[in-house]
Amino acid sequence: MEGANGGGDGDGGDRPWQSYHTVYTTAKAGMEGVDKEKVQKVVYEMSKGSKYFQNEERKEAFINQKVQNLRIQCAKLTEADLVHYRKVADRRIVELEASRDLSRIWLHVDMDAFYAAVETLSNPTLQGKPMAVGSMSMISTANYEARKFGVRAAMPGFIARKLCPELIFVPIDFKKYTYYSDLTRKVFRIYDPNFIAGSLDEAYLDITEVCKERNVNSEEIAQELRAGVYEETGLTCSAGVAPNRLLAKVCSDINKPNGQYILPNDRMAVMTFVSSLPIRKIGGIGKVTEHILKGVFEINTCEQMLEKSSYLYAILSQPTAEFFCSVGLGLGQKDSPQVRFRKSISNERTFSATEDEVLLHKKLVELAEMLSVDMQKEGLCGRTLTLKLKTASFEVRTRAVTLQKYISSSEDILKHAKKLLKAELPISVRLIGLRVSQFNGDKCSAAPDPTQKTITNFITSGDVNRNCSSFPDVADLDFVSDAETNLSIDNRQTSQLDWRDPFVGNYLSDGDHQSCIVQKNGVEEVQTPSNDATSSHHSGFTEGSTSFQGQFEGINVMNESKLREGARLNSCCQETTMLWLNDYKCSLCGIELPPSFVEERLEHSDFHLAEKLQKEESRIHQPYVPSRSRNQKDGITRQSKSKKQKLSNKEGKYTPIDSFFVKK
């Protein structure tokens, strides 16, 4: 792959932008005829020398190095290795094929340029003109007229203006978008009351039953649904129908805008459809994963995943290899989730980088109010509040606090959010986000998930004094070597493990636990604030479209007044830090999430953090029993007996404190 050798061969040539990989050249609906090289050149020239450009270069260099490392591993495979892994892959492919279910009919509906379409509906004078929703800092979406110039969502506005000088900017209005989203969902419920909302502008519907009840085919239902949405809102949408959700989402993008595509529930039709499908069309495969699959395995289409399955099983973890093989077979999720409840709720906003504390607090107030409204609308209240910051240098920091009480009001959220922000000031920020998690099931009527494992179960399921490096959920296949573990997620760094606990630190005076993850140029730091705190470090690599992994080094931080609490925490078994093993699997509970599930992974991380802090909190209120040697215990026993005899002679009524430390 071009540029896969560590920096791009074109850096010193006449066209250095050709080695500058960017998501902005990815073809979205309506961008089929765009001159990609022109877009790439403009993005390169407008970004060159900026903090963003430097950050992208560091990430690109890291991924190039990772590709090289994986290529070396592939080259070391012997013929015997390949024969073995071919048998493993063939056996698993047969099992996956046997699980194929063509009985369900899934429909994915996606609104066409939703934000832009709503603004055009509100202001008809924008019709036919290139327009983008957002500002010169960042674009949320662009209409199809603007996409012809290469303008797309998640692109800085100043770059979009360079590509299209006539581009019109319209400010974001989420209240308006939410209103129209609610109207579309009224239509969706007619066909599937339990539809799955992917976002404000997309949803998955299981239309199997409605097709049977009405004795109509899926094509008629798709047409009827699209007509219903247009009648209700005046907006157009596109639909895709397939045997599972993964393929339905791919199908909905084929005939955009205002179109539909039907993939029959037939194995041959599915395999033919998948055979020439570019891997980037699959949800869960982003820019970095595509780079690795192409650069290491020379995989460009989904069909080639099956052809190279022996290499996938040899180099990658079993869950990751199985995901890719499932894609090659055209398999995806087909059943409606039985347990559906929130684990967290969040809001974030991007703006021009600023150090103005007044403006930052104003943004914080807005986020707290929006978050409170969303939580109260769903009857939620939570204990863990997380603040997310992205600095002007694209460094991402997350600081969390777990409270003694559950909160949902904007006043409570703002009160604690201000404390978290104050700890980071002064700082130049371009994004602020707030997230609340660890909800109270009893107070908020949120049924617990019976399938969700907890860190408490993980710790107590075995010997409490077991070595902290023992991981029953981690197979040998998860590890590349004794010294290096493949813990990468998309563009995350492969790193050496350190199992020490980064969250052992000061216990705050108000009873709340607080920690901070700081991501600096590919390095995350987990910080516990205190007067004499020494930071814990977590080395990983992070970008907006993926989640994180890496190496934790925990350092105990305590002062004299907290020595006993710290000693107690250290004497207990050291819980392992949550990591994403081999790009896919949580090291604590074994749950599997693809790299593209960014929010879900953040929520999952918050969940484990909250469980850990809650457990540590419960330990603090338990009696302290220091570990002693056998001789020390014998000496204490003799002393206790002697003191008890003296007290009995004096008819004393008090039990000596030493007796509490004697194991009876």
Catalytic residues: 202
At CA 614, angle to CA 461 and CA 472, rounded to 5? 25
Say if residue 279 is exposed, middle or buried (CB neighbours under 10 Å; 0-12, 13-18, 19+).
buried
The number of C-alpha atoms within 13 Å of 599 and in the hemisphere containing its C-beta is: 14
Q: CB 152: neighbour CB atoms within 10 A?
A: 25
* Pairing outcome for strands 237-242 and 106-111: antiparallel
Chain centroid, CA 157 distance in Å: 26
Q: Which two tokens stand for residue 578?
A: 């949550």
Q: Are 222 and 116 in contact (CB under 8 A)?
A: no
Concatenated DSSP letters of 306-373: HHTHHHHHHHS-HHHHHHHHHHHHT----SPPS----SEEEEEEEEEEE--HHHHHHHHHHHHHHHHH
Return the axis-axis angle of helices 318-329 and 79-98, rounded to nearest 10°: 60
Instruction: Classify the C-alpha dihedral 48-54-60-61 as positive or negative.
Output: positive
DSSP 506: P
The SS3 call for residue 289 is helix
Q: Are 437 and 606 in contact (CB under 8 A)?
A: yes
Q: Are 372 and 330 in contact (CB under 8 A)?
A: no
* Pairing outcome for strands 429-439 and 139-142: unpaired
Long-range contacts of 194-197 (CB under 8 A, 24+ apart): 194/336, 196/245, 196/336, 196/337
The number of C-alpha atoms within 13 Å of 482 and in the hemisphere containing its C-beta is: 0
Distance CA 2, CA 294 (A): 10
Return the axis-axis angle of helices 51-75 and 36-47, rounded to nearest 10°: 120
Return the axis-axis angle of helices 410-422 and 357-377, rounded to nearest 10°: 140
Q: Are 127 and 168 in contact (CB under 8 A)?
A: no
Instruction: Classify the C-alpha dihedral 31-35-40-41 as positive or negative.
Output: negative
Long-range contacts of 558-563 (CB under 8 A, 24+ apart): 558/505, 558/506, 559/506, 559/530, 559/531, 559/532, 562/506, 562/507
Distance CA 81, CA 68 (A): 20
Q: Of the candidates 597, 495, 496, 486, which has an alpha carbon nearest to the alpha carbon of residue 547?
A: 597
Q: CB 214: neighbour CB atoms within 10 A?
A: 13
Query: Among the residues of 123-196, which ranges form H helices?
Result: 144-147, 157-163, 174-191
Residues 6+ apart with CB under 8 A from 182: none
Q: Which two tokens stand for residue 628?
A: 């002693």
At CA 422, angle to CA 416 and CA 425, rounded to 5? 155
